[in-house]
A and B are shown apart, each in its own frame.
Chain A
Amino acid sequence: MASTAHTEVKGDNFHVTEEPHHEGHSTVIGFWIFLMQDMLLFCGLFAIFAWLGGHYANGPAPLDDGTGQPLFHLTPVAINTVIMMVSAFTCSMGMVNIRKENVGAALRFFGITALLGLGFLFMQYREAVNMAAVGATIQTSAFLASFFVIIFTHCLHVIAGLVWFVVLAVQINLHGLDDANERRAVCFSMFWNFLDITWVIVFVFVYLMGVLK
């Protein structure tokens, strides 16, 4: 930031005076900028899908997997949407308890969030297995390649969130709810909310728009 240092004129010399900042003063804005660039990564993937999403190479398509059945089943997708939505809520409730310094309740809410994240990953795994069973893999067509890259990238983010939860829980158990752990909890909550926002875009633009007829 421009305000972190200012110059003073003393005689003929210019001095840069460093102002002291407490640790972590720029963590939230820094993490926000990270999330924004992560959004640009997803934006690139969505732009690729917008172009390649209709290139089925005579293979499986969202409404017909080759056997007359739809490739995209809305029920598991709806379940995943509910899972992400509820987990964003439980994660935010964890933050309410962090603010009240209610560590046990906060960790329980974050734990529920992580369990919902595991459930989400399981649903995504099942979907990929079911798709592979009808010959729809990442190598089948440009449509499926761009589709699976989006899904895998999102799942990698969910896995990162789960690892973050474990690390956060260990840190809070070791050091209690100090300022550093509170910052980590804020960032975890921002990250998990970002996962839900990304999933909403996948849900609408990839799945729902794919099954319009």
Chain B
Amino acid sequence: MSNHPEVHVHEHADAGGLGYGTQQSYLTGLGLAAALSAAALGLAAVGSIGTIQTTALILTAIAIARVYIHAVFFLRIRSTDEGGWTAITTIFTLITVVIAMVGSIWIMLHQEINMMPMPGTDAFRGM
């Protein structure tokens, strides 16, 4: 057991790490998360500022910031956890997510543009 102090929950206690934040970090995280969520909600309730694209970009930035705050203040992910394996799996997942999201949206929207409008679809109404 003493050969693996980095994975033993008791010995991690004061070192932070996955699932081990402090009350202070949780309160900071809650405050920041509440502020960002309120900002996003206010933005959507107004309708949009500028164009829809600008507002959507701002909302995306808020969502990314919110997830980052959660990872840092609540989950306490550090690049050194588990000998770096948490960081590696997270980066791998993020790369896969970006490829899957961007790729799917790109392909499907192009496919959509090249489709013939059919009766009953929204595109047909514009014909």
Contact = CB atoms under 8 A, between A and B. Distances in A.
Interface of A: 1, 19, 21-22, 25-26, 28-29, 32-33, 36-37, 39-40, 43-44, 46-48, 50-51, 54-58, 74, 78, 81-82, 85-86, 88-89, 92-93, 95-96, 99, 179, 182-183, 186-187, 189-190, 193, 196-197, 200-201, 203-205, 207-209, 211-213
Nearest to A32: B86
A92 B9 contact: no
A182 B104 CA distance: 40
A205 B63 contact: yes
Specify which of A22, A47, A93 lies most central, judged by the most chain B CB atoms within 10 Å of its CB.
A47
A208 B9 contact: no
Interface in B1-57: 1, 3-4, 7-10, 13, 18-23, 26-27, 29-30, 33-34, 37, 40-41, 43-45, 47-48, 52, 55-56
Specify which of A58, A203, A208 lies most central, judged by the most chain B CB atoms within 10 Å of its CB.
A208
Contacts of B105: 47, 50-51
B89 interface: yes
A118 B20 CA distance: 25
Contacts, number: 160
A142 B70 CA distance: 32
A152 B109 CA distance: 25
B101 A46 contact: yes
A28 B85 CA distance: 11
A96 B86 contact: no
Nearest to A210: B44
Contacts of A213: 47-48, 52
A92 B75 CA distance: 9
A179 B10 CA distance: 8
A109 to B, nearest CB: 11
B90 interface: yes
A22 B1 contact: yes
Contacts of B27: 89
Contact of B122 (A40, A46, A51, A56): A56
Contact of B70 (A1, A82, A200): A200
A201 to B, nearest CB: 6
A212 B56 contact: yes
12 contacts: A19-B3, A29-B85, A43-B96, A51-B109, A85-B30, A85-B33, A89-B27, A99-B13, A190-B75, A201-B67, A203-B37, A205-B63
A114 to B, nearest CB: 18
B108 interface: yes
Given A54-B122, A88-B74, A99 B93 contact: no
Contacts of B43: 208
B125 to A, nearest CB: 8
